[in-house]
Each structure stands twice: as structure tokens, then as C-alpha cells.
Amino acid sequence: MNLYKALPLWFHKLGALKYFYEISHVISRWVSVICVICFITGLYGGLVLAPADYQQGDSFRIMYMHVPSAWMSLFIYMVMAISGGIGLIWRVKLAEIVARSSAPIGATFTFLALATGAIWGKPMWGTWWVWDARLTSELILLFLYLGYIALQSAFEDRRVAARAGAILALVGIVNIPIIHYSVEWWSTLHQGPTVSKLDKPSIHMSMLIPLLLMTLACKTFYVSSLLIRIRTEILEYECNSSWVKHLLGNNKNVSN
């Protein structure tokens, strides 16, 4: 089959809730294995193998949870906004489900980034919180997530709730570059980027590799959690479909 004809058919098939439900089980298994491996190796590398920082001592080790959580808070919001936009424009059910399922996970990562930042900030800055540009914009991101979740609960009609949430998510995208560039645009207490190996200062490889492993662990955790939530949403969406009734009937027979 011609590639130009095969790709649209494959994407159309992928958008079918029944087909996505089936393949998500296979994807989940592999992603979960990668997630566990990355978490174990990343934490061991960051907490045991990496040397203490010459300025921060062992306090820097909280970055192995703080930095990936902060990155994931931005990444998941972009996924939520893009999938919400796709659902808003093309009325794709799967895109709406992805957006709705991503919101609680993104809110959790955002809260974790703020909490670990506060724990790190106490010994480094002498205070749990300052109205720093980076911290304030990250707090606004948490409110955007919570606002999106509240909108999903405010409407009985899921499609109406999805459209309202998509509009909020798309408007909130303006906060993403503010978070990313806040340390460059304003004078803040938050340290600048040090992960890049092209600029100075940069992080040492013995610290960078565990950080990248923890980032991959968080990403795979997000994918695994997202797929579980999507499967639950699909079953609720398609509860009256014959394939769902057949699936639930088989599960009851197996449990009996």
C-alpha cells in the first residue's frame, strides 16, 4: 500500500477508541518496565554514585526529583493544551480523553516541583518561599491545572467540559515561555540553566546522567499512568458499546 495512503489510515485507526484500548495494554507493559529500570538506576546514580556538590553539598540531590518534576509540569501542560486543541477543532474523542487524563498527573508533578523546590530553598535561601518570578509562574501553572480539573467536574456533558477545558488550556499556554525564560528575563533568586553542555556553567556528567535517567523515568511514569487513565475513560465513554459489554462479560466469567 502507498505510504501516503497507509499513514492516514493508521492514524484514523489509532484514533478509534477500541483499537487504542487494545494496543495500550501492550505499550503499558514495556513502558512500565523502562520506568522501573530508570527509576532504580537514576536514584542509585543520583543518591549514591554522584559526588556531593562543592557549594550545596548533599542538598543538591533533591534536584533528581525537583528538576524532572518541573520539566514534566511544562511538558504535560503542552500535551494537555495540544490534545485539547485537537479535540476542540476536530472533535476527536481520544484527544479529549488524553487532555482530561493528563491534567491530574500534570498537577501532581507541578505540586511536587513546588514542594521539592521549597525544601531545597530553605537551606539555600533561608526561606521556604519567595515571590520569585520562576516560583510564582510555576504556582500559576498549578492553578491552571486545578482550574482545568474543576471545569471537567463542572459540566455533566463531557464534550462541553472538554471544550471549556481546551479553551482554558490554550489560553494558559502563554505562561509556559514565562516559566522557561523567567530566570533570563528577570533578576531572580532561582539559579539559571546548568544542564546544557554547550554553555558555562554546566553540570558534570556524573550528575547529568542520573538526572537524565530520572527524567526518562518520570516521562515513562507519565505515559504509563496516562494509558491507565485513558483505558478507564474509554470504558466509561463506550459503556454501551457491544465490545465493552463483551469485554466486561468475559472478565466476569474469568473472575467467577
Q: Is pLDDT of 98 > 50?
A: yes
Crossing angle of helices 133-154 and 93-125, in 10° steps, is 150
C-alpha distance from residue 139 to each of 5, 63, 204 (Å): 45, 18, 30
Alpha helices in the chain (DSSP H): 3-14, 17-44, 63-90, 93-125, 133-154, 158-172, 175-185, 205-237, 242-255
- In the predicted structure, residue 71 carries a pLDDT above the cut 50: yes
Q: Where are the domains of the chain?
A: 22-51+204-227, 70-202
The overall pTM is greater than 0.85 = yes
Q: What is the pLDDT of residues 144-184, one digit of tens each?
A: 999 999 999 999 999 999 999 999 999 999 999 999 888 87
d(CA 117, CA 179): 14
Most distant pair of Cα atoms in the chain: their distance: 65
Torsion of CA 212, 148, 84, 109, to 10 degrees: 10
pLDDT (tens digit per residue) in 184-193: 777 666 666 6
Report whether 155 contacts 164 (CB < 8 A): yes
pLDDT in tens, 101-132: 999 999 999 999 999 999 998 888 888 888 88
DSSP one-letter string for 160-192: HHHHHHHHHHHHHTTHHHHHHHHHHHS--SS--
